[in-house]
């Protein structure tokens, strides 16, 4: 495989053999960085992958007035936000920039940003985010095309809110809003992905009180302040699944380390049905394919 002029050229025909370490999940790191805005003490996230969305998130944190820097493979965030306006050009580059609005509302009573951008993979509106925040006391102000301004001068308060579908992003936004809001929030129809549980675990370790992570109903008792914490985000199950499928497609034997197989068990089970051999350990899986692949039949996600 070679990379030239923004293109990646892949020459196939050879089996894959070797070991690959699975990095921390980007889809966990981004909401954790947004959550750092709620913490009065320093936050350290360990072994974070150096990705463009992560760099955008650091830009948003700095724009809000926090110190955010790399220390080796770790990220350290310190300081409370002092600016409610997120840098527009940076926010427009990334879908997850909407996650930074809820902590700013909680801390400063106001959040201003460009409408979030990011990958163009179909309709991904933010209406659920805004509807839930409105139920918690936030108002959307007229800001012109491409801008988003939210205000909660009286602060955010708890509510009982049901998501129309289990949106991961909306669940994260409302979790971030509720953890420091007045009173208790019950969030029904919530997403159940491991990244939601990772965010809830981090917030609880910082002093939050969240119950039900991993189920469709979350109960959050608001806290006035959170402390910082030294936290290792969960491994990237999407990254691991991609490499497992690559081994199945190309053949050979690949060991994936640093990621519990339970995080991507459905993918491994389907690969076994297709003719692969999978050996599982506590935080590793070995995927091998030396014969032909077979159709897996009907697959439901």
Phi, psi (degrees; rounded to nearest 5) at 88: -60, -45
Cβ–Cβ under 8 Å, residues 149 and 143: yes
Residue listed under structure tokens 């925040």: 133
Phi, psi (degrees; rounded to nearest 5) at 177: -70, -40
Phi, psi (degrees; rounded to nearest 5) at 172: -65, -45
Catalytic residues: 119
Task: Map residue 13 onto helix, strand or coil.
Answer: coil
Token pair, residue 152, equals 């909660």
Burial class (CB in 10 A: 0-12, 13-18, 19+), 83: middle
Cβ count within 10 A of residue 245:
16
Q: Which of 146, 129, 150 minimizes the C-alpha distance to 138?
A: 150
Cβ count within 10 A of residue 215:
12
Cβ–Cβ under 8 Å, residues 223 and 209: yes
Strands (E), 22-141: 43-45, 67-71, 74-78, 110-114, 139-141
């Amino acid at each position: 495989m070679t990379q030239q002029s923004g293109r990646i050229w892949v020459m196939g025909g050879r089996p894959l053999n070797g070991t690959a370490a699975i990095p921390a999940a980007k889809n966990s790191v981004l909401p954790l960085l947004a959550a750092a805005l709620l913490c009065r003490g320093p936050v350290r996230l360990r072994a974070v992958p150096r990705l463009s969305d992560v760099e955008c998130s650091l830009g948003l944190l700095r724009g809000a007035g926090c110190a955010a820097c790399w220390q080796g493979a770790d990220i350290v965030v310190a300081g409370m936000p002092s600016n409610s306006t997120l840098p527009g050009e940076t926010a427009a580059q990334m879908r997850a920039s909407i996650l930074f609005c809820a902590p700013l509302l909680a801390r400063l009573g106001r959040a201003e940003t460009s409408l979030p951008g990011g990958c163009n993979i179909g309709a991904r509106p933010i209406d659920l985010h805004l509807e839930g925040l409105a139920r918690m006391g936030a108002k959307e102000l007229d800001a012109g095309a491409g801008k988003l301004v939210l205000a909660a001068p009286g602060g955010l308060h708890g509510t009982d809110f049901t998501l129309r579908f289990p949106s991961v992003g909306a669940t994260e936004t409302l979790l971030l809003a509720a953890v420091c809001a007045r009173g208790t929030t019950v969030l029904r129809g919530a997403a159940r992905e491991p990244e939601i549980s990772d965010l809830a675990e981090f917030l609880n370790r910082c002093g939050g009180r969240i119950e039900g992570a991993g189920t469709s109903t979350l109960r959050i008792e608001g806290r006035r302040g959170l402390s910082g914490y030294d936290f290792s985000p969960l491994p990237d199950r999407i990254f691991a699944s991609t490499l497992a499928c690559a081994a199945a497609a190309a053949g050979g034997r690949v060991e994936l380390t640093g990621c519990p197989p339970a995080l991507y068990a459905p993918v491994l089970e389907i690969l076994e049905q297709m003719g692969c051999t999978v050996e599982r350990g506590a935080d590793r899986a070995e995927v091998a394919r030396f014969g032909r692949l077979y159709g897996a039949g009907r697959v439901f996600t």
